[in-house]
Amino acid sequence: MKEPKNRSHVHRPITELVWLALLATCTKLLLVPAYRSTDFEVHRHWLALTHTLPLAQWYSDETSPWTLDYPPFFAHFEHLISLFAHLVDPTIAHLHKGLDFSSPSFILFHRFTVIASDVVLYYGIYQLTRNVRFKRRFLTWALVVGSPGLVIVDHVHFQYNGFLLGVLLVSLAALEEGRDLCGGFVFAVLLSFKHLFAVAAPVYFVYLFRHYCHGGLVKGFGRLVVMGTLVAAVFVAAYGPFLYFGQIQVVFRRMFPFGRGLCHAYWAPNFWVFYIILDKILAFLLAKLGFNIQAPTASFTGGLVGDSSPFAVLPRVTPLITFTMVLLAIFPCLIKAWKDPQPRMITRWVAYAYSCGFMFGWHVHEKASLHFVIPLAIVAVHSMEDARHYFYLSIDHPKHAIQPRGHAKDVPMSDLLEVADITMLCLFVSCYSLFPLLYESQEYPIKLLLLLLHAILMWLGFSSRFSNNTAAKASQRKGDKPTQRGSSGGGFVIGWTGKSYLLGLLVVETWGQFLHPLLLGSRLPFLPLMMISIYCAIGMMYSWVWQLQWIIKSH
Amino acid sequence: MRWTVLSSDALLFFPAVLWFIIVYYWGRKRWLQGNVAWHIAMILLNPCLILIDHGHFQYNCISLGLTVGAVAAILSDRELVASVLFCLALNHKQSLRSLFSAKEGFVVLTNGTKLRAKEQFGDVVDVKFGTAHDPGNFIVLMIGASRTYTPTLPAKMVLRCDGGLGRWIAAEGRCGMWCWDVAQVVLRCGVGAMVQWGSRWLVEAVASGRASRQWVAVSQNSLMIVLASSRWTQITVDCGKKSKSGLYLTRNCFHAFGGSTMNENAKFDILGTECGKWSTNTKLVKREKRTETGPKLRWGQRSVGPELGSLYKLIACRTMSAYFAPAFFSHLLGKCLRRRNPLLEVAKLGLVVLGTFAVVWWPYIHPVDGFLEVVSRLAPFERGIYEDYVANFWCTTSVLIKWKRLLTMRSLKLLSLAATVSTCLPSMVQQLRAPSKQGFLYALLNSAFSFYLFSFQVHEKSILLPLLPASLLAFEEPFLIQWLTHYALFSMFPLLCRDNLILPYIALYGIFILLCHVPGGRLDTRETHSFTSLRSFLSAFLLLCSFSLHIIYLTVRPPKKYPYLFDAFIMLLCFTQFVLVAIYANRKQWMLSMNSIVVDKEKHL
């Protein structure tokens, strides 16, 4: 993707977005022959399920091990797709004949559905950024649309995250513009598409309660009732039919499979990785010291609740504990939202809430990092705007430099620089942690190239924003190259921590890809994955702590 | 093998393009430099080159990269470097071969001589066969078997080996991605046939009681055929009884039941349906017998004995970069003539050229017969003036005039030579009279076009050569490059269709067109839409024609009487467009010379 030149005034945002979307679509088309994951079969089965069976049996069917575990709206969405799938090839939508069915036409069709459903993502991002300046808008778009994580998960591995994130963005855009009712409604719809998004529900609740339901007791209560009715209506539309058929318990059992272990097969880089490692080390040390340590019988990934603990030394983690921890982690942000519900901050809060969910949640999949990475990218560009404003004022009117817009007034400059720093790091790490998802060697160049291109784009984008700030006058001139770096103190540089961290990442990757097979051969096959997981977890933890700090400090 | 293309791309083509861009934009006005990224994208992301090199699998990027380097050298006034680079570009395929066949004692066997009736095997197939010391053993190295659509293809790789052991090393093919695995076969006094373009092999063998993986033993007088395989091929062997002559496909054969992805012609489809089983089905064998034996026998007659141990044979390859030779020649000559000491300059250049050629050709000059062989391969006149449906003059007019019947080969050669020279003469004359850098780029375009349109034995992919200077000129001629890319791609559409590259075709073309119209992209608006309504109507009509032809080609079956009807239509349409573009480029070049002084001055600003 090439950096655009700044002739913003000529083009309308919608044409630009269409251009970018088409470019992204073409790139995605090139990824169609990529490897075929099991998720194809999962979604195909859901499609066949919803096509063949009546509504009442959707959640009780057990023809395939891939049972339907998304909320009802997603099932309806699959049903909609199945109507077209039936036209393409009736076998696809056949419950029994279609099992493990694969044909080029089916794969093409399935890939197309993802590409087409990305329209929602484009719409969401358009809603979110239609009123901002060209460069920031384009940077946001490039960051989100070209996000390697999203491309890897959706268009190589196959899922519908782009579509769901699009819905989230629409909701956030509505909130930022003050259309609270609409925002709440869309969020309720999103929850009925994928319940994993519910982590941000407390934030939404507190924010809407304080921001929407104000203005006296009567008016506030009236608004609360309106909002409550709207959200309840959405949930009734989603779950009502199942309640009617007496299936609601089955539905919830499917949607919340706490029977699965604390971690996914490949450990998502979150807090629990440290916990597990600590347990291993402690067990090892204590065993050395002569204590009698029983080796755990259950595994982390598949252990059933109530059976033996997978931990040797440390106390067992239950879903309730993780739930409490997530809530505790979100708490500071809830307080902020309660005290001062500003529309500007909502995206940041939501991003933070999702990262809490990712860090402390139960059975988190590494793909869940997309939930907070995408909003975080948007937040980063937002804050860049604030930073720019700050710069602009401080350069042109040195005496009034203390009066910038928004929250930036008390935040030191270094923090705003750090936003970009941390976001880049976070995007990088989260994308890198998705690498093991594509394990075949033929996809290796693709994912590497995607990541590097994206990193370069981010780098250019963010650094150009700063160069514009520092050399505000120069940037007014037409044809100034966007990649030009400013020379004065505000330049965008990754700090030494970030640099050394990225270097370490390189080491981990080199080890996993080349040195490990070379030196150890097939021994310790889990080691590279574990290293990636731990190393990424450090990065994630760092970015989470920083986000927390940022939330607390912000006004 | 894909990596080799990619790395040669990254090592040669990319730096060459970068160099060209730096030279081209050096000292221009500052606001023009905003177009650098756009221009690079235009050259590097040209869908034709990507599809042919990375989809169809060829090494064009090397010769094109060297050519671009030569152009850049000329633009920066380094004539000697330019001539060296261009000579290398002329010879790149030879040097590549020499890398592959450097080991003393190996024979590089051509796929060609007798079986080129329909198609040559592709430029990138090496077959190494037998060593001098151990004549019976042979190693077959197949690299990227392309052009696999001809029905007689499985016969093409039949090898005869008397009383020896054989090893087959099958490198990856065109549908596979990156990996290449090895299948090994032992042959004793057998005839082997092998065609593969899959990347993964699973060879199961049952031969004289032994069963093994990736190791197939075939008993005496046997014949084996490994047919087209896709990525997950199961090859099952049944070597029961001996056959009489070893040249018929009885029971001593392999059947490869390719996955269904790559089955392109009817025969493969028959096999493809029986995926994963192994068969002694007589019906199937019969079918194969009918289709396979003829060509195989022919190959069989071409006995390859031990005496061939020291003979080099090269894969036929045409020096594609020769298309640019007139432009280079005339530009350099014209420039030299303008110097103070023209004779010395010319002599210098001549020496450099001869030296480069000598270095490159040294390995082949060594055995004289090898040298002669190479020379005869370089000018593959015996193949006929045209084949398939290439959008050049001879093919297009052959719809009406059957050149091959009317004239003898010799007169056809003369005719095409005369036509080529006469068409590229104007641009040569212009360059001799007033050599300018801008004019040189146009001259490249023109001479490449005249070769493409009128020379002997042109292949579809040769359109890459006119396309290269056009993309170098993308900044001056944004419309031209789009138009030309569109029709160049279109002219290769049937070829790419057979390679199952339709999806990349669409995607890459989409990316290219989108990049052409970057919002707020090109700062230069000299070439604004000054189209009259007639012109825009015509271009819209032509675009509509080509789009509908795309769809028709994919969906409608041609009538049985004219199976290549749509190919002919595509050819016709593309040919007219190419001619128009060529005329336009010639005119433009001459217009330049009218005010060449002004242009030159502008250059130096």
Every domain of chain A and the residues it spans? 271-316
| B185 within 8 A of B192, measured Cβ to Cβ | yes
Residue B97 has pLDDT above 60, yes or no: no
Q: Does B18 touch chain A (CB under 8 A)?
A: no
User: CB distance A5–B510 less than 8 Å?
Assistant: no
A152/B160: higher pLDDT = A152
pLDDT band at B435 (very low <50, low <70, confident <90, very high): confident
pLDDT at A160: 93
Q: Cβ–Cβ of A442/B33 closer than 8 Å?
A: no
Shortest CA distance to B190 belongs to which of B174, B204, B207? B207
On the question of pLDDT at B413 being above 90, the answer is no
Q: Do A481 and B34 touch (CB under 8 A)?
A: yes
Q: What is the DSSP string of A314-351?
A: SPPP-HHHHHHHHHHHHHHHHHHHHH---GGGHHHHHH
Closest CA to A167 of A205, A123, A112, A114: A123
Distance CA A428, CA B172 (A): 34
Return the pLDDT at A466. 56
Please, are residues A5 and A482 in contact by the beta-carbon 8 Å criterion? yes
Token pair recorded at residue A438: 């594509």
Which residues neighbour B245 within 8 Å (Cβ) at sequence distance 6 or greater?
B221
| Model pLDDT, residue A81 | 92
| Residue of higher predicted confidence among B360 and A395 | B360
Q: What's the pLDDT score for residue B114? A: 25
Cα dist. B211→A361, B188, B246, B253, B272 in Å?
53, 17, 22, 15, 24
* 8 A C-beta contact, residue A152 and residue A159: no
With 60 as the cut, is the pLDDT of residue A182 above it? yes
Q: Residue A17's closest chain B neighbor by CA? A: B519
What local confidence, expressed as pLDDT, does residue A519 receive? 81
- Name the token pair of B600: 């030159």
H helix runs in B455-532, sequence order = 464-472, 478-491, 493-498, 502-516
In angstroms, the CA A451 to CA B570 distance is: 40
pLDDT value for B178: 19
Nearest CA in chain B to A3: B37
Rounded average pLDDT over B291-305: 28
Q: Can you give the pLDDT at residue B299?
A: 26
Nearest to A133 by CA among A401, A384, A427, A470: A384
Whether residue A251 is predicted with pLDDT greater than 60 in this model: the reply is yes
Angle (CA) A451 A453 A458, round 5°: 95
Q: What local confidence, expressed as pLDDT, does residue A112 receive?
A: 92
Q: Please say whether the beta carbons of B482 and B515 come within 8 A.
A: no
Give the global pTM.
0.72
Give strand pairing partners of B167. Answer: B139
**By CB neighbour count within 10 A (0-12 exposed, 13-18 middle, 19+ buried), where does B428 fall?**
buried
Any idea where the domains of chain B sit in the sequence? 2-97+315-604, 103-310
Q: What CA–CA distance (Å, rounded) separates A264 from A196? A: 15
**Of the candidate ranges A264-268, A298-302, B57-61, B317-321, the one whose mean pLDDT is the lowest:** B317-321
How much is the average pLDDT of A242-267?
79
- Match 């500003």 to its residue by tokens: A342
Instruction: Quote the tokens at residue A21.
Output: 């979307």
Closest CA to A364 of A196, A216, A182: A196
Q: With 70 as the cut, is the pLDDT of residue B257 above it?
A: no
Interface of A with B (CB under 8 A): 2-8, 10-11, 15-16, 19, 22-23, 25-27, 29-30, 32-33, 104, 108, 134, 441-442, 445, 478-479, 481
Q: Name, of A499-503, B70-74, B147-151, the range with top average pLDDT.
A: B70-74
Which of A5, A151, A480 is most worth mutating to test chain B (most B CB atoms within 10 A of its CB)? A5
A300 vs B239, higher pLDDT: A300
Quickly tell me which residue has 């093991």 as its tokens. A436
CB-nearest partner of A19 from B33, B507, B519:
B519
**Phi, psi angles (nearest 5°) of residue A343:** -60, -30
Q: Using the predicted structure, report yes or no on whether residue A177 has a pLDDT greater than 60.
A: yes
Tell me the pLDDT tens digit for each residue of A431-486.
888 887 777 777 788 888 888 888 888 777 777 655 555 444 343 333 333 333 33
Task: Give the number of A-B residue pairs with CB atoms closer than 8 Å.
Answer: 73
Judge residue B408's burial from the number of C-beta atoms within 10 Å of its C-beta, 0-12 exposed, 13-18 middle, 19 or more buried.
exposed
- Distance, in Å, from the CA atom of A500 to the CA atom of A505, rounded to the nearest integer, reads 9
Contacts of A441 in chain B (CB under 8 A): 178-179
- Please give the pLDDT value at position A236: 93
CA dist A228 and A534 (Å) reads: 42
Q: Which of B37, B507, B517 sits opposite A2 (nearest CB)?
A: B37
Give me the mean pLDDT over the A210-226 stretch.
Answer: 86
- Sign of the alpha-carbon torsion through B32, B35, B39, B42: negative
Query: B332: alpha, beta or left, given left = phi > 0 and alpha = psi -120 to 50?
Result: alpha
pLDDT of B86 above 50: yes
Q: What is the pLDDT of residue B336?
A: 80
Give the dihedral sign, CA A279/A283/A289/A291.
positive
CB contact under 8 A, B178 and A442: yes
Count of other CB atoms within 10 angstroms of residue B383 = 16
Instruction: Give the lowest-confidence range in A141-145, A307-311, B283-287.
Output: B283-287
Residue A39 burial (C-beta neighbours within 10 Å; 0-12, 13-18, 19+): middle
- Percent of chain B beyond pLDDT 70? 51
Q: How far is the C-alpha of B323 from the C-alpha of B448, rounded, in Å?
A: 5
Task: Please give the order of strands across the beta sheet that includes B190-194.
Answer: B159-161, B190-194, B223-226
Q: For residue B90, what pLDDT is reported?
A: 72
The answer on pLDDT for A308 being more than 70 is no
Q: Is the pLDDT of residue A113 over 70?
A: yes
Nearest-neighbour CA in chain B from A418: distance (Å): 29
Query: Confidence band (pLDDT; 50, 70, 90) for A341?
Result: confident
CB contacts, 8 Å: B41 with chain A:
2
SS3 B255: strand
Question: Of A27, A445, A479, which is closest to B511 when you measure between CB atoms?
Answer: A27
| C-alpha–C-alpha distance, residues B319 and B401, integer Å | 28
With a cut of 50, say whether residue A45 has pLDDT above it.
Answer: yes
Structure tokens given for A403: 């009066």
Q: Residue A326: is its pLDDT beyond 90?
A: yes
Of A511-515, B43-47, B175-179, B310-314, where does mean pLDDT reach its minimum? B175-179
Residue B25: list chain A partners with CB under 8 A: none
| Alpha-carbon radius of gyration of chain A | 24
- Taking the C-alpha atoms of residue B418 and residue B407, their distance in angstroms, rounded to an integer, is 15
- For residue B386, the model assigns a pLDDT of 61
What are the structure tokens assigned to B376, written together?
């005869």
B104-122 burial string, b = 16+ CB within 10 Å, else e?
eebbbbbbbeebbeebbbb
Supply the pLDDT for residue A389. Answer: 52
* Mutation target vs B (from A10, A19, A448; most B CBs, 10 A cutoff): A19
Long-range contacts of B428-434 (CB under 8 A, 24+ apart): B428/B326, B428/B327, B428/B329, B428/B330, B429/B330, B430/B589, B430/B590, B430/B592, B430/B593, B431/B327, B431/B330, B431/B331, B431/B334, B432/B330, B432/B333, B432/B334, B432/B337, B433/B334, B433/B593, B434/B334, B434/B593, B434/B596
Question: Which residue of chain B comes nearest to A481, CA vs CA?
Answer: B34
Q: B469-483 pLDDT, tens per residue?
A: 999 888 888 888 889
pLDDT value for B241: 34
pLDDT-based confidence at residue A299 (cuts at 50, 70, 90)? low
Give B516's contacts in chain A (Cβ within 8 Å). Answer: none
Residues from chain A contacting residue B34 (CB–CB below 8 Å):
5, 479, 481
User: Given a cut of 50, is residue A305 above it in pLDDT?
Assistant: no
Of A2, A29, A104, the CB nearest to B518: A2
Answer whether B502 touches A (CB < 8 Å).
no
B31·A478 Cβ contact <8 A: yes
Q: Which residues of A touch B503 (CB under 8 A)?
A: 29-30, 32-33, 108
Q: How far is B9 from chain A (nearest CA, A)?
A: 15
Band (pLDDT 50/70/90 cuts) for residue B292 is very low
Report CB contact under 8 Å: A5, B506: no
Query: What pLDDT score was predicted for residue B295?
Result: 27
- Percent of chain A scored above 70 by pLDDT? 81
Mutation target to probe the B interface, by most B beta carbons within 10 A, among A14, A27, A30 is A30
Nearest CA in chain A to B51: A30
pLDDT at res. B426: 85
Any CB–CB contact under 8 A between B45 and chain A?
A: no
What digits encode the pLDDT tens for the residues B188-247?
323 333 333 222 222 222 222 232 222 233 322 233 333 333 222 333 333 333 322 222
Of the pLDDT bands very low, low, confident and very high (cuts 50, 70, 90), residue A406 is very low
B519 interfaces chain A, CB cutoff of 8 Å: yes
The pLDDT, as a whole number, for residue B195 is 34
Report the amino acid identity of residue B588.
K
Looking at per-residue pLDDT, the higher value among B518 and A279 belongs to A279
Nearest-CB residue to A2 (from B179, B515, B517): B515
Say whether residue B54 is in contact with chain A using an 8 A CB cutoff. no
Specify the pLDDT at position A522: 74
Give pLDDT tens digits for B490-530.
998 888 887 788 888 999 999 998 888 876 555 444 444 55
Return the structure tokens found at A341: 């519900």
Contact B520 A5 (CB under 8 A): yes
For a pLDDT cut of 90, what percent of chain A falls above it? 19
**Residues forming a β-bridge with B141:** B169
- pLDDT of A165 reads 94
Residues of A in contact with B179 (CB under 8 A): 441-442
Band (B430; pLDDT cuts 50, 70, 90)? confident
- Inform me whether the C-beta atom of residue B178 falls under 8 Å from chain A C-beta atoms: yes
Angstrom distance (rounded) from CA B457 to CA B119: 12
Q: What does the alpha-carbon distance between residue B392 and residue B376 come to, in Å, rounded to a whole number?
A: 24
pLDDT for residue A377:
84
**pLDDT of the residue at B31:** 64
CB–CB of A393/A403 below 8 Å? yes
Q: Measured between CA atoms, how close is A20 to chain B, in angstroms?
A: 9
